[in-house]
């Protein structure tokens, strides 16, 4: 398990459940989040969710092309690539070279940045992934941020199913899981979130950190097994 420096007092708690990580969920996604006890349970349903939203539509959204639904005031660079299905929220900016590989749901006022790649993922409102990010099989919470070069690694080198290492071992039954970053989570430049990593709400991850396992809310992650209370 993860360790604290001796001089630090552990006052935080591990956040594993969906409701503990994501409080600010848009109304059109809330039923799916409410029914999922753990966030990884949502990942296999993203394709189904996007298909349903495309079928029913969302108020104020228009069909950019077959399988791509966009809100108002969306900015899409000419060199960005969007492979359906995808839902893009109001006021979101998709910058040059961004690659959306399908089964992607993006909330309002997000930034999908330069040369960043997204697949089978949900970004809630005000998420920023501005530069050279890989976000696959992941969920990023309200106002989450990934610094330049942050990668959500989603496949183990041995190809086995992902196990979440928290207060116990959670067998997910899924071969591909990236990361779950809680509301206001912040990952520093070139951080690598290993498969099945969970970052609690309001937690910051130092640059160049190799995160693995579950980190509590309101913490600063300084190394793989070292985190401290934020306050």
CB-based burial, 104-141: b 16+ in 10 Å, e otherwise: bbbbbbbbbbbebbbbbbbbbbbbbbbbbbbbbbbbbb
- Say which range, 109-113, 166-170, 211-215, has the weakest mean pLDDT: 166-170
Q: Tell me the per-residue pLDDT of 54-102, one tens digit each, with 9 for 90 and over.
A: 999 999 999 999 999 999 999 999 999 999 999 999 999 999 999 999 9
CA pair distance 85, 46, nearest whole angstrom: 10
pLDDT of 222 above 90: yes
Residue 15, pLDDT score: 87
Residue 5, pLDDT score: 42
Residue 33, pLDDT score: 98
Residue 9, pLDDT score: 41
Question: Which whole number is the average pLDDT over 206-226?
Answer: 95
CA pair distance 67, 50, nearest whole angstrom: 9
Residue 79, pLDDT score: 97
Neighbours of 97 (CB within 10 A): 16
Share of the chain above pLDDT 70, in %: 95
Domain boundaries of the chain, sorted by first residue: 18-229
CA pair distance 110, 215, nearest whole angstrom: 24
Tell me which architecture the domain covering 18-229 has in CATH.
3 Solenoid (2.160)
Q: How confident is the model at residue 12 (pLDDT cuts 50, 70, 90)?
A: low
Alpha helices per DSSP H over the chain: 18-21, 30-35, 46-56
Q: How confident is the model at residue 231 (pLDDT cuts 50, 70, 90)?
A: confident
- Segment (H or E) for 175: none
Question: Which whole number is the average pLDDT over 153-176?
Answer: 95
Contact of 70 with 85, CB cutoff 8 Å: no
Question: Which whole number is the average pLDDT over 35-58?
Answer: 97
Q: Tell me the per-residue pLDDT of 123-164, one tens digit each, with 9 for 90 and over.
A: 999 999 999 999 999 999 999 999 999 999 999 999 999 999
Residue 179, pLDDT score: 98
Contact of 228 with 219, CB cutoff 8 Å: yes
Residue 1, pLDDT score: 42
DSSP 224: T
Distances (CA, A) of 61 to 53, 56, 172, 187: 10, 11, 34, 31
What own/partner pairs with CB < 8 Å and gap ≥ 24 does 172-175 have? 172/38, 172/40, 172/196, 174/40, 174/43, 174/44, 174/137
Cα 79 → chain centroid: 23
Query: How many residues are recorded in the chain?
Result: 231
Backbone angles phi, psi at 50, to 5 degrees: -65, -40
């Amino acid at each position: 398990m993860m360790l604290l420096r001796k001089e630090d007092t552990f006052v935080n708690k591990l956040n594993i459940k969906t409701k503990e990580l994501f409080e600010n969920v848009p109304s059109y996604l809330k039923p799916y989040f409410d029914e999922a006890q753990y966030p990884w349970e949502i990942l296999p349903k993203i394709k189904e969710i996007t298909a349903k939203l495309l079928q029913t539509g969302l108020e104020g959204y228009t069909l950019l092309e077959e399988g791509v639904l966009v809100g108002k005031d969306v900015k899409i660079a000419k060199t960005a690539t969007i492979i359906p299905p995808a839902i893009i929220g109001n006021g979101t900016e998709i910058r040059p070279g961004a690659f959306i590989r399908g089964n992607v749901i993006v909330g309002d006022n997000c930034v999908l940045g330069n040369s960043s790649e997204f697949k089978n993922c949900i970004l809630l409102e005000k998420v920023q992934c501005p530069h050279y990010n890989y976000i696959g099989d992941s969920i990023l919470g309200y106002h989450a941020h990934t610094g330049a070069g942050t990668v959500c690694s989603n496949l183990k080198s041995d190809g086995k199913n992902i196990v979440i290492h928290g207060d116990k071992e959670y067998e997910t039954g899924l071969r591909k899981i990236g990361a779950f970053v809680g509301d206001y989570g912040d990952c520093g430049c070139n951080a690598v979130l290993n498969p099945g990593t969970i970052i609690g709400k309001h937690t910051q991850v130092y640059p160049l950190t190799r995160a693995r396992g579950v980190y509590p809310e309101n913490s600063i992650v300084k190394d793989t097994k070292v985190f401290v209370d934020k306050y």
